[in-house]
């Protein structure tokens, strides 16, 4: 199965962290940290979202074969985020 990512923050999506639509159904595009009850939880720009996500670099590095610096992570997100649905 293809890995899906939150189309706002880039977090890998699993069934247990899917956001919710206004009718309470699961939203297949966004995580619970970004989208609830059919609305985004943060009113922010793409750059603000990148800065927000960068604070979790230690958690991200637990999943990586080679750890990244915060700066490397920010650069990676700057290349990846413009492809996400929320930021296109």
- What pLDDT, on a 0 to 100 scale, did the predictor assign at position 2? 81
pLDDT tens, the chain, 88 aa long: 688 999 999 999 999 999 999 999 999 999 999 999 999 999 999 999 999 999 999 999 998 899 999 999 999 999 999 999 999 9
- What pLDDT, on a 0 to 100 scale, did the predictor assign at position 74? 97
C-beta separation of 72 from 66 below 8 A: no
CA distance 72 to 40: 27
CA distance 75 to 79: 7
Instruction: Tell me, yes or no, if the pTM score tops 0.95.
Output: no
Tell whether the torsion through CA atoms of 48, 50, 51 and 52 is positive or negative. positive
For 25-79, give the DSSP string. PEEEEEETTTEETTEES----HHHHHHHHHTTHHHHHTT-SS---HHHHHHHHHH
């Amino acid at each position: 199965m293809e890995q899906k990512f939150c189309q706002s923050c880039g977090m890998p999506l699993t069934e247990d962290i899917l956001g919710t639509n206004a009718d309470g159904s699961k939203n297949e595009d966004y995580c619970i940290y970004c989208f609830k009850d059919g609305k985004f939880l943060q009113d922010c720009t793409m750059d603000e979202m990148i800065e927000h996500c960068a604070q979790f670099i230690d958690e991200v590095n637990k999943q990586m074969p080679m750890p990244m610096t915060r700066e490397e992570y920010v650069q990676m997100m700057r290349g990846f985020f413009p492809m996400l649905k929320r930021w296109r």
